[in-house]
Every structure is written in structure tokens, then in C-alpha cells.
Amino acid sequence: MGFPTIRPRRLRRSPELRALVRETTLSPGDFVYPMFFNAAIDAPRPVGTMPGIDQLPLSAAREQAKRIKERGVGSVILFGLPKTKDDRGSSGLDPDGPVPRAIAEMKSAVPELIVMADVCVDEYTDHGHCGILKKKGETWEVDNDATVSVLAEMGVLFAKAGADVVAPSDMMDGRVGAMRAALDQAGFEGTSLLSYAVKYASSFYGPFREAADCAPKFGDRAGYQMDPANAREALREAALDEEEGADMLMVKPALSYLDVIRDVREHSKLPLGAYNVSGEYAMLHAAADRGMIDRNRAILEVLTSIRRAGADFILTYHALAAAELLGG
Ligand code: PBG
């Protein structure tokens, strides 16, 4: 006498049954929408490599905040394009710079919108690196500790402007502890710190470097961002940032690193974000534009897979489109 056939398909017989046993949920509240504010423009300027994404003038901040909130997306992360750049990224410490101004405008338009600010000098340095450079014989290196003190100052500046969350994306050692101490000392104990704890030296940042005008003018970022081959090191980076006082962790990019998202999820109790980066966004649209994949299904599948891997929230350029698909 044989066993009866075991039939998992019984639970796939109707949309209602499938919904009942669905393991992963996706909602507009899971998304953080990245935005680029350019201090030198008066009208939106499309980013050629990222369909639907614009560099924005500061005059658009208020109406954008309202539009995002109306879609049900509760958070944004801001990047800035300043009017001037130098080798130390000084414009990143200007209280009238694009990010502090955009934070203030968006928070006053929609106080409940969670406004995060990316903290890194690459948007403000003329060489495009995520650190202050120093000479090393014929060549150069990133001065870790000099960079960390600029980041700490920048974090306080953004907190002062009203940011709910500051998010260092540079990968210098010790920056989370230094930023936490500086925030506390300045009276911003309530400002959260989201660490880009695990950030790889990835080819998938290409379109972002056009959007934020921050491609390195020479060399690459392999001396500070992680080697894509390493997973154990991700746990080390995550543990260090947790010890230093990060409130939330992030893995970046997302799609080629779903295993890393899962690993970090299993080793840390902190809320975990994942950054569905510019190249991942551009690839999906390029394939959809050529009729190779179904755009809307692909967007939801990608975002669901990042949540399934273990991310609590997702930084994604698809945020508004996905919210609309989800009925927002
Ligand atoms: C650095 C930063 C980068 C991204 C976010 N913050 C670029 C880099 O490290 O080269 C990339 C985000 C994306 O590709 O969408 N400030």
C-alpha cells in the first residue's frame, strides 16, 4: 500500500488560500525613497540612467513631501548636490547646503514624514572619494580618522536641520561611535543612526554616481568598501556598528547580496534595511523597456525577495511606483 501523494499545491488553489499562507508581506510603509536635491537648479532635471528619477530643486521639497506621504510611503533618504566642491568636502558642512535645507522644508511640510539624511563626503569632494585624502609617497590614501571627524560634524548638522535619522555611507572605521558621541554631546540623543554597515564595492552604483555627481575622479572605492567575495566580514562589520551604537543596520546592494541580508538578519536583533541600488533599478527598467520582462511584476518580485531574505525595510527608487501597485 503506497502513501497518499503529498500535495502542497492544495494551498495554491485560490487567491484567498495563497494569501492565507503567504509568508512575506510588502507594503508602502516598508519603503524609503531616495531623493537628490541639487542646489544649482530651478527645475527638476531627469537622471538619464534612471527612468522616472530627477535631481530636484529645493523649491520642490514641500510638494514632494506631500506627494510621497499621500502614496503611503513613510520615509525618504536625502542626497545633496552642492554648488561648490573642494578636496575636503567643505560644502557638506554648510548649514545652507541642499540637504539641511531640504530636510527643514520637508519636515515643516509633513512633520510625520521620516526624513533620513545620507552622511558622506563624496557628494561634496571635488575628487569624488568618500573620505579626506592624504599623500602616501607617489600616491594617496583615505585618511580614516580625519574623515570620521567631518562625518560626525555633518551628522550633527543634519540632526540640527531636523533629520530623524542620519545614515553614514562611507565605510570608515569607527564612524558610528564617533557620530553617536557627537550627536549625544550636541543634545540630539533622539536622532537615530542607520549605518550602511555592510556596503560592498559594487558595479551597481553606476547610475547613482550620475544622479549624485559623485563618481571618483581617479582610483576606486575598493580600499574602503567591502570585497563582494566576503560574507563573514559582513558579520564583523555589522557587529562592530551594533557595538558602536547603531540603531539600525543596512546591507547594500540588495540583489546580489540576499545571502548577506539573511546572515545579518540571523546574527543581529537590530532592525535591518537593504538598499535596492541604482544599477538594480536601471537594469530592471532597461529589460522592461525592451519587452524582456514585465515591469510591474518584476518590481514587486524584486522587493518581495529582499523582504523574504530578511530586510525589514528597503531603500528603493521603485518606492512610489511600487506603492501605487500595492494600491497606495
Ligand atoms: C555614497 C553612496 C553611494 C550610494 C549611496 N551612497 C555611492 C557609492 O558608494 O559610490 C549608491 C546608491 C545607489 O547606487 O543607488 N555616498
Does residue 119 carry a pLDDT above 90? yes
| 8-65: pLDDT as tens digits | 999 999 999 999 999 999 999 999 999 999 999 999 999 999 999 999 999 999 999 9
Question: Ligand 1, residues 151, 205, 278: which to mutate, most atoms within 8 A of Cβ?
Answer: 205
CB 273 within 8 A of CB 250: yes
| 131-172: pLDDT as tens digits | 999 999 989 999 999 999 999 999 999 999 999 999 999 999
CB 180 within 8 A of CB 190: no
- 167 C-alpha vs ligand 1 centroid, how far in Å? 12
Amino acid at 110: V
Q: Which residues contact 221 (CB under 8 A, 6 or more apart)?
A: 129, 130, 201
Does residue 93 carry a pLDDT above 90? yes
Q: 279-295: buried (b, 16+ CB within 10 Å) or exposed (e) per residue?
A: bbbbbbbeebeeeebee
Question: Ligand 1, residues 37, 120, 127, 194: which to mutate, most atoms within 8 A of Cβ?
Answer: 120
| 263-285: pLDDT as tens digits | 999 999 999 999 999 999 999 99
**Three cell numbers, residue 88:** 575636503
Residue nearest to ligand 1 atom 2, measured at CA: 169
Please tell me the distance from the alpha carbon of residue 328 to that of residue 122, in angstroms, as a whole number.
Answer: 34
- 280 C-alpha vs ligand 1 centroid, how far in Å? 12
- Confidence label for 328 from pLDDT (cuts 50, 70 and 90): low
Please tell me the distance from the alpha carbon of residue 126 to that of residue 86, in angstroms, as a whole number.
Answer: 5
Please tell me the distance from the alpha carbon of residue 258 to that of residue 256, in angstroms, as a whole number.
Answer: 6
Please tell me the distance from the alpha carbon of residue 19 to that of residue 25, in angstroms, as a whole number.
Answer: 10
Q: Is 199 a catalytic residue?
A: yes
Q: Which atom of ligand 1 is nearest to the CA of 276?
A: 15
> What is the third-level CATH fold of 25-325?
TIM Barrel (3.20.20)
Does residue 130 carry a pLDDT above 70? yes
Q: Give which of 41, 51, 48, 7 is closest to 289, Cα–Cα.
A: 51
The pairing of beta strand 45-46 with beta strand 54-56:
antiparallel
- 118 C-alpha vs ligand 1 centroid, how far in Å? 9
Does residue 2 carry a pLDDT above 90? no
| 238-265: pLDDT as tens digits | 999 999 999 999 999 999 999 999 999 9
Q: Which atom of ligand 1 is nearest to the CA of 317?
A: 15
| Domain locations in the chain as residue ranges | 25-325
Q: Is 136 a catalytic residue?
A: no
291 three-class SS:
coil
Q: 70-97: buried (b, 16+ CB within 10 Å) or exposed (e) per residue?
A: ebbbbbbbbbbbbeebeebbbbbbbeeb
Average pLDDT of the chain?
97
pLDDT for the residue numbered 325: 98
| 194-236: pLDDT as tens digits | 999 999 999 999 999 999 999 999 999 999 999 999 999 999 9
CB 32 within 8 A of CB 319: yes
Cis upstream peptide for 253 (omega within 30°): yes
**Three cell numbers, residue 141:** 590614501
